[in-house]
Amino acid sequence: MHADRAPDGDHGRMRLLVLVNGAAGTTDDESVEAAVAALRRRADVTVAATADEAELRTAVSGLGDRRPVVIGGDGSVHAAVRALDRAGVLDPGLPVGIVPRGTGNDLARTLGLPLDPAEAAAVVLDGTPRRLDLVRDDAGGLAVNAVHVGVGALAAAEALRFKERLGTAAFPLGAAIAGVTSSGWPLRVEVDGRVAVHGSEGWAADGSTDVLMLAVCTGATIGGGALLAPDAVPDDGLAEVVVSTATSAVARAAFAAALPSGRHVDRPDVLVLRGREVTFSGAPVDVNADGDVEEGVDARTWRVERHAWSVLVPG
């Protein structure tokens, strides 16, 4: 881990710990430099460039009286929040600053954060704290924006191969590849203790029906703006749960085409519910939490923890 400390003489100023993913090679990026320069004009800034989870935990363990600021995308925010949580310093009374620098930046989009680094730095310095919900799972994980089970996780894994070259265009390409190769999994899905049932269409995710995708969302978008959960609210204590049984080749293609605009929620093979606790069980399937992919999971429960943390947003 590399830590770049501010020079002496900044006593009495706002104190910030800026977290940058050094493993991604972004520490010398012009946008990072611009954001740090803007912050340093008005704050005492220490920059910690971390290469892995252990270094990130070490950095946040030494947070002290500094406010954490994440320069990065959804994956970086996810990792930082997880590290803060495991270090015992995740507190809604200590708002996190975010300077978006990822490919998707979906949490930033949901919160209305500017994507320009200098403008985002201004929000860190002058913004208003907004308390947000956190999705925790029974394996010790968490999510700050969205969890995907099934084809969504496969799509994200495929997109990783193309992100550096294609940017946000990697997400629809990954979805297309995953959609061709995936035909669903027999999963049982429960929301607040009840099996997910589409009453008007006569199907249920009870383990006898193949599910293409399950999503548990507090944020509205994934993949750089695709409206997976159009009505999700990040601070109302509920997750928006999307279940798709679009498993035929034609249905998968139609679902993928409708997803970016949010029109998929009107399809008969899609069910949208809201709840505080979501459980799935069944065939082993991949799970993606904010870009962090876990393979071969056969059961998982998520619970929404209301107002577990906070982010500085435009006032």
What is the DSSP annotation of 113-131? --SSHHHHHHHHHH-EEEE
The answer to whether residues 205 and 236 belong to one domain is yes
Q: Is the pLDDT of residue 157 over 60?
A: no
**Residue 313 domain flag:** no
Q: What is the pTM of this model?
A: 0.89
**Predicted local distance difference test score (pLDDT) of residue 11:** 56
The residue with greater pLDDT, 195 or 8, is 195
Domain hosting residue 226, numbered range: 142-307
Q: How many domains does the chain have?
A: 2
The answer to whether residues 301 and 154 belong to one domain is yes
**Predicted local distance difference test score (pLDDT) of residue 29:** 80
**Predicted local distance difference test score (pLDDT) of residue 199:** 93
Q: Is the pLDDT of residue 175 over 70?
A: no
The answer to whether residues 205 and 268 belong to one domain is yes
Residue 102 pLDDT level (bands cut at 50, 70, 90): confident
**Residue 312 domain flag:** no
Token look-up 């493993």 returns: 23
| Short-list 108, 118, 114, CA closest to 225 | 108
Token look-up 């015992």 returns: 88
The sign of the torsion formed by the CA atoms of 114, 117, 118, 120 equals: positive
Residue 158 pLDDT level (bands cut at 50, 70, 90): low
Token look-up 């490919």 returns: 103
| Short-list 155, 145, 146, CA closest to 252 | 155
The answer to whether residues 165 and 287 belong to one domain is yes
**Predicted local distance difference test score (pLDDT) of residue 2:** 59
Q: Are 46 and 74 in contact (CB under 8 A)?
A: no
**Predicted local distance difference test score (pLDDT) of residue 301:** 98
**Residue 136 domain flag:** no
The answer to whether residues 76 and 169 belong to one domain is no
**Residue 149 domain flag:** yes
What percent of the chain stands above pLDDT 70? 85
CATH number at residue 25: 3.40.50.10330
**Residue 135 domain flag:** no
Q: Is the pLDDT of residue 289 over 70?
A: yes
The sign of the torsion formed by the CA atoms of 132, 123, 110, 174 equals: negative
Cα-based angle 192, 197, 199 (whole degrees, multiple of 5): 130
**Residue 153 domain flag:** yes
Residue 1 pLDDT level (bands cut at 50, 70, 90): low
For residue range 208-250, list pLDDT tens digits in order: 999 999 999 999 998 888 899 999 999 999 999 999 999 998 8
The answer to whether residues 269 and 170 belong to one domain is yes
The answer to whether residues 115 and 260 belong to one domain is no
Q: What is residue 166's three-state secondary structure? A: helix
Of 97, 126, 155, the last residue of a domain is 126
**Predicted local distance difference test score (pLDDT) of residue 4:** 60
The answer to whether residues 101 and 187 belong to one domain is no
For residue range 44-100, list pLDDT tens digits in order: 999 999 999 999 999 999 899 999 999 999 999 999 999 999 999 999 999 999 999
Q: How far apart are the first and last CA of the chain?
A: 34
As a whole number, mean pLDDT of residues 273-297 equals 95
Task: Please provide the average confidence, as pLDDT, over all residues in the chain.
Answer: 88
Q: Is the pLDDT of residue 279 over 90?
A: yes
The answer to whether residues 31 and 172 belong to one domain is no
**Residue 131 domain flag:** no
As a whole number, mean pLDDT of residues 15-19 equals 97
What percent of the chain stands above pLDDT 90? 73
- The region of weakest confidence among 68-77, 154-163, 285-294 is 154-163
CATH number at residue 238: 2.60.200.40
| Short-list 143, 139, 152, 96, CA closest to 290 | 143
Residue 257 pLDDT level (bands cut at 50, 70, 90): confident
Q: How far is CA 210 from CA 83, 158, 207, 254, in A?
A: 35, 22, 7, 17
Residue 64, Cβ density class (10 Å: 0-12 exposed, 13-18 middle, ≥19 buried): exposed
The answer to whether residues 201 and 112 belong to one domain is no
Q: Are 273 and 191 in contact (CB under 8 A)?
A: yes
Listed in order, strand segments (DSSP E) in the chain are 2-4, 14-21, 43-50, 67-72, 97-100, 128-137, 142-143, 146-150, 185-191, 194-195, 197-198, 203-204, 206-211, 213-217, 239-244, 270-275, 277-289, 292-313
* Range among 168-172, 234-238, 259-263 with highest mean pLDDT value: 234-238
